Amino acid sequence: MTRTRKLIAALVAMMTVVGMAFMTMLPARPALADPTDTSGITVVNAQPGHTYSAYRFATFSNVKAASTDTIASMDVTTVPGPSEDNNQRWVYKLHTACMYGNDSVKAKWSDAYGENPAAFMATLTGDELASVAAMLSLPEGLAPNGSATVPGDAAQDLTIPKLPEGWYVIKDSGTDKLAIVATPITSNGTIYTKFLIDEGTGQSAIADTLGRFYAKAEEAQSKPHKEVYSDAAHTNADDLANFSIGDTLYYTIDTRISPHAANYNDYTFVIMDQASRGLTLNPTAMKVMFADAAITSDTEASAATLTNGADYSWNVSTAADKTTTMTITITSPKALAGKYLRVAYPATINADIVKAGTYTSTSTDAATSKTSDTTEDLAANKAYNSARVNANGQGWTDKWDTTVFTGSISFTKVGVGADTALADVTFNLFRGDSAKQSDTNKPLTFDKVMDGDKVVDGEYNYNPSGKVTNLVTDANGKITVNGLAANEVPNPKVQAAPYTFKETSTNTAKGYAQSILATFTVDHAIGDNGDVTNTLSSTKNNTLGLATISPDGAITVKNVKNVTQLPLTGAAGVVLFTFLALVIAGIAVTLTVTYRRARKGLEE
């Protein structure tokens, strides 16, 4: 169908502006005598069981050659009839379709074309003419000039024979879709099979063959298959997995170029990948592979690879909402007809994932073939990525998408009495359930969150290359850490991950005890829908009971000024009662010593 559109758009080059104006100012004149029943149109990739019928709506004349087989220009004349009913004449049908075409078609229309709308149609671009063809209905009672049916159960090339030369509408009985194509053209004994595109059309240097068009298969290009992996070998695929800021993800896009691409000289094949904010794509590390069968992690090593710049090219652009669109264009799909493709590339999670945002995806309306962008809201700690394919200019397929998550942990620091929010308390955070620092267990590093040029107190984004290890509570006593995974990559099946907070200094200016500091572990979990659940571990750390969690999941961490203010439950209670026992024992010892000394004095 794409080649058909190009063929029709190319008719602009087959006539001169002066010739068109002259035609439309005079009554429609008959074309020069054309050979009768000597030409034909070949339907390439005709579908099994379908009948293709050809209806001529315009004739050609005044042919001027560019070379021995190529036409430079010619005149186009709308055929009369097929009945006396004005509403069933070709002129009416073609004009009506033009008026219901897209806006640019209606804007171009001039009443000067009057009884010759075919001449007007020859001034349209391929996309504009396609919109006219989509609105065109055939005149009632119209008999085809010729037809042919595909035998058997396989797609094949099919010729509609014995057609008078001219411009035709071809109807596919299987889809009721219409295509527009011209026959080869004979003038002064020469058969012309090619045309030249006029420089003014913006398509110079394109040549093609008359009398052939390519039928679209009943099954449209299928959407690609997209996966996200935690390893470069692509062995551990898990959409809806969760990761930390700074983690590298490994994406694959799997698709296939139709075997029918072998029938096209100008078949196009473009893969589009769109990523939301929170993902930084790395196309320079891209690898494009092809094979005779679907490519898997086990067969990647044996798959052939394409060369960037020669066999494919890529382009990346970023929109205002930080949606990144990457297109991969295959240079010669015809040479890869029937081959399976795999595009593999890495991406990195960046700090933008922690903020709520929007994502813009590009799609094609199947009914109108119009491409449009759709914007959707994204929650914080969620990144989105999708892939589509546009084969032979037919529009973008449905998308195959992947989603990844990060998570956040928050808690509030409180004191005693009126100190319901304790500022300037410092913590370190460790991955795992140990806060014992070593060469293999060091505090995680972060970046301070910025709001423009202003630092947001108490909020930190994880950064494996960051410089900040000391997490300090804000004026509300709060600390929030963002961009954390809930699993140990590359094992996303482990759904909860422990993180241990260790208090390193408290607010001594308010009299709080530097010797009584909290250490507690949070089990951090992220569900397949991105929901985060933070649970205070009951078995790891928190021996003093300074950290507590409410039924709604809010974590509170207490500071005290002396040991008597420790909680009276759990391990902390044991500590306190042990301390009191020691105090009482000390008093008893003191009283005993005093009593013995007093008694000895009396005895003396």
Reported in sequence order, the residue ranges of 392-433 that DSSP labels E, i.e. its strands, are: 400-405, 407-414, 426-431
> Is 521 found in the same domain as 442?
yes
Which of 214, 243, 264 finishes a domain?
Answer: 214
| 581 belongs to a structural domain | no
| 188 belongs to a structural domain | yes
The secondary structure of residue 230, as a DSSP letter, is S
> Is 415 found in the same domain as 395?
no
Mean pLDDT computed over 24-50: 62
Give the pLDDT band of residue 188 (cuts 50, 70, 90): confident
> Is 354 found in the same domain as 316?
yes
Residue written as token pair 């929007």: 358
Pairing of strands 496-505, 371-378: unpaired
Closest CA to 168 of 2, 11, 394, 393: 11
Give the pLDDT band of residue 119 (cuts 50, 70, 90): confident
Whether residue 601 has pLDDT greater than 70: no
What pLDDT sits at residue 147?
Answer: 96
> Is 280 found in the same domain as 356?
yes
* Residues 309, 311, 314: CA angle, nearest 5 degrees: 50
Q: At what angle do helices 126-135 and 2-9 cross, to 10 degrees?
A: 110
192 Cβ contact list (under 8 Å, min separation 6)? 63, 65, 69, 70, 71, 184, 185, 186, 210
| 578 belongs to a structural domain | no
> Is 353 found in the same domain as 334?
yes
What pLDDT sits at residue 175?
Answer: 81
What is the overall mean pLDDT for the chain?
84
> Is 397 found in the same domain as 264?
yes
Domain housing 450:
407-567
> Is 430 found in the same domain as 396?
no
Which of 404, 437, 464 finishes a domain?
Answer: 404
> Is 179 found in the same domain as 90?
yes
| 25 belongs to a structural domain | no
| 574 belongs to a structural domain | no
Which of 343, 372, 404 finishes a domain?
Answer: 404
Whether residue 553 has pLDDT greater than 70: yes
Exposure of 221 in the CB half-sphere (CA atoms within 13 A) = 33
> Is 174 found in the same domain as 61?
yes
| 24 belongs to a structural domain | no
Structure tokens at 222: 């299928």
Mean pLDDT computed over 524-545: 91
Q: Is the dihedral of CA 20, 26, 32, 33 positive or negative?
A: positive
Q: Is the pTM of this model over 0.75?
A: no
* Residue 551 one-letter amino acid: P
Span 240-284, pLDDT tens digits: 889 999 999 999 999 999 887 886 778 899 999 999 999 999 999
Q: What is the number of structural domains in the chain?
A: 3
CA distance 496 to 551: 19
Give the pLDDT band of residue 54 (cuts 50, 70, 90): very high
> Is 505 found in the same domain as 388?
no
Whether residue 144 has pLDDT greater than 70: yes
Whether residue 459 has pLDDT greater than 80: yes
> Is 267 found in the same domain as 130?
no
- For residue 563, give the CATH number of its domain: 2.60.40.10
Structure tokens at 404: 């990844």
What pLDDT sits at residue 300?
Answer: 97
| 32 belongs to a structural domain | no
Q: At what angle do helices 90-99 and 126-135 cross, to 10 degrees?
A: 120
Structure tokens at 548: 């507590």
Structure tokens at 361: 């995806």
- For residue 264, give the CATH number of its domain: 2.60.40.740
| 473 belongs to a structural domain | yes
Residue 202's φ and ψ, nearest 5 degrees, are 80, 10
Rg value, the chain, Cα: 38
> Is 512 found in the same domain as 371?
no
